[in-house]
Amino acid sequence: MSRIGTSVVPTAAALLLASLIVTALPTSAPAQGLQGRTRIVLRGGYDTTRDAGGVGGAVRIPVGGAFEVIPSGDYYFVNRGDAWQANLDGAIRFGGRQLFYVGTGVAVLGRSVNGFSNTDVGWNLFAGLAVETPGGRFGLLVEPRYTLR
């Protein structure tokens, strides 16, 4: 793992190819779509830096207008040891139905192998597309993500 400020590395909490959105709190206005309610997100992806698949989750919390706060975490299935990433991000939705979004935030990345551990801090940059089923209970996210560290 690189040290803070020494390199720019694409990572996936990096390429989250597809995520399943599960509604955490129902809304009283079904026509709202993805906006206006807190959602729990289950996700899977591939980290190109670690060369490993991963699973994780997030909570997408609308805080006003098109802005969301998104705490999340991921665990990666590396060959040896453990690897994880915790994030605190913010995103802005845009477009006619607010299907597109861009965001940024802080990442804490951890790795441990044979009793030795390393923790780095990084900065997330991401963009995505989010669509929902007509009933609004499930959806799909496609989100490329890069972590600078």
47-106 confidence digits (pLDDT tens) = 998 899 999 999 999 998 899 999 999 999 999 999 999 999 999 999 877 789 999 999
Tell me the CATH architecture of domain 8-148.
Beta Barrel (2.40)
Query: Encoding tokens for residue 89?
Result: 């991000």
Q: What is the pTM of this model?
A: 0.74
What is the per-residue pLDDT across 17-41, written as a single tens digit (0 to 9) for each?
Answer: 233 333 333 333 333 445 578 989 9
Q: DSSP assignment of 85-138, as one string?
A: EEEEEEEEEESTTS-EEEEEEEEEEEEEETTEEEEEEEEEEEEEEEEE-TTSSE
Residue 132 burial (CB count, 10 A): 18
